[in-house]
Structure 1
Amino acid sequence: QVSGGDDEIQQLQKALLDYLDENTEIDASLVFSRKFYVAQWFRDTTMETEKAIKSQKDEDSSEGTHHAKDVETTGQIMHRAESRKTFLRSIIKTAPSQFSTLK
């Protein structure tokens, strides 16, 4: 369920990223963990979107009819995926100063 522009997964992602941010001074490896999670979540979002599109195309070709409910569901998945990608891009853009401190 999407509420206030953030879905539950995105809220959990933000909480984990905030935790990692707060503890990078204690453990420098958390910076790399943070990068990994952002990249993995971006990949997962892309894969979820591709799977939804493929599923919709498979249903359309097998049934021969187009259900408005299915289209809406795919549209919602696409919207949620774009929202998550935008969130992850904003995380990437706000973190370079932190990443440049480790060499």
Structure 2
Amino acid sequence: MFVVIFRAKARDLDAEYSAMAAQMRQLALTQFGCLDFTAVTEGDQEIALSYWPDEASIRAWKQHTDHLIAQKLGRERWYASYSVEIAEVTRRYRHPADAQT
């Protein structure tokens, strides 16, 4: 399993951004095999964690036409800066053990 860590400094997160973010999250979860997707914003800082079964799924998601449009709009309008990190999850545990989150 892999995790994509997206961190951004927001410029202006308007209603169009919120709609686009919801659409991208749904697309990742329903069409690209994303296992979980969580995003939080505090002040002008945003962090999103998405979990994927493999790197091929991440690459396919990154190159999808709608996601390319969202990336372009993010650079032009919504984000002052951002970074993306991709890491392999080598261990995972939960409490209680049957918890979903």
TM-score (norm 1): 0.31
Greater per-residue helix proportion? 1
Instruction: Compare relative contact order (CA 8 Å, sep 6+) and give the higher one, 1 or 2.
Output: 2
- Structure with bigger gyration radius: 1
